[in-house]
Amino acid sequence: MRYGFLSEHFVRIAAKRLAAVEADPRRSNQHEFNGVEALRRVLGPEEFRNRPARFIWLGGENEGVTDTAPVSWYDSRRNQPHRAAEWRLYFKANAVMEMAAEGDLLVIGLRPDDEILFMVAPQGSTLENQIAWLFGLDGDLGGGFRFADYEGRNDRGLDFVANYVLEELGIEPAEPEADRLDRIVAAWGLAFPPSRDLSAAARKHAGAPDPREDADGALMGWIECEEALFRRLERRVVAERLREGFAAAGEADVDDFLAFSLSVQNRRKSRMGLSLENHVEAILGARGIRHERGARTEGNSRPDFLFPSAAAYHDSAFDPLLLSMLGVKSTLKDRWRQVLAEAARIDRKHLLTLEPGISVAQTDEMARNGLQLVVPAALHRTFTGRQAAWLMDFRGFLEVVADRQARAAARG
- Letter string b/e over residues 51-76, b meaning 16 or more CB atoms within 10 A of that residue's CB: eebbbbbbbeeeeeeebebebbbbee
Are 302 and 342 spatial neighbours (Cβ–Cβ below 8 Å)?
A: yes
Residue 5 scores a pLDDT above 80: yes
* pTM of the predicted model over 0.85: yes
Residue 26 scores a pLDDT above 60: no
The residues that are catalytic are 313
Confidence of residue 60 (pLDDT cuts 50, 70, 90): low
Q: What is the mean pLDDT of the chain?
A: 91
pLDDT of residue 73: 95
Are 143 and 199 spatial neighbours (Cβ–Cβ below 8 Å)?
A: no
> How far, in Å, CA of 60 to CA of 103, rounded?
16
Residue 152 scores a pLDDT above 90: no
Identify the top-confidence range among 19-33, 39-53, 59-73, 127-141.
39-53
Range 41-48 average pLDDT: 94
Amino acid at 183: R
349-353 and 371-374 as β-strands: parallel, antiparallel, unpaired? parallel
pLDDT of residue 24: 64
pLDDT tens for 321-330 read 999 999 999 9
Confidence of residue 254 (pLDDT cuts 50, 70, 90): confident
CA 81 to each of CA 37, 75, 77: distance values in angstroms, whole numbers, following the listed order: 20, 11, 7
pLDDT of residue 27: 52
Q: Single out the residue of 165, 127, 228 nearest to residue 10, CA to CA.
A: 165
Residues 6+ apart with CB under 8 A from 392: 350, 372, 373, 374, 375, 400
CA 97 to each of CA 31, 120, 373, 402: distance values in angstroms, whole numbers, following the listed order: 9, 8, 34, 51
Peptide linkage before 122 cis (omega within 30 of 0): no
pLDDT tens for 88-137 read 999 999 999 999 999 999 999 999 999 999 999 999 999 999 999 999 99
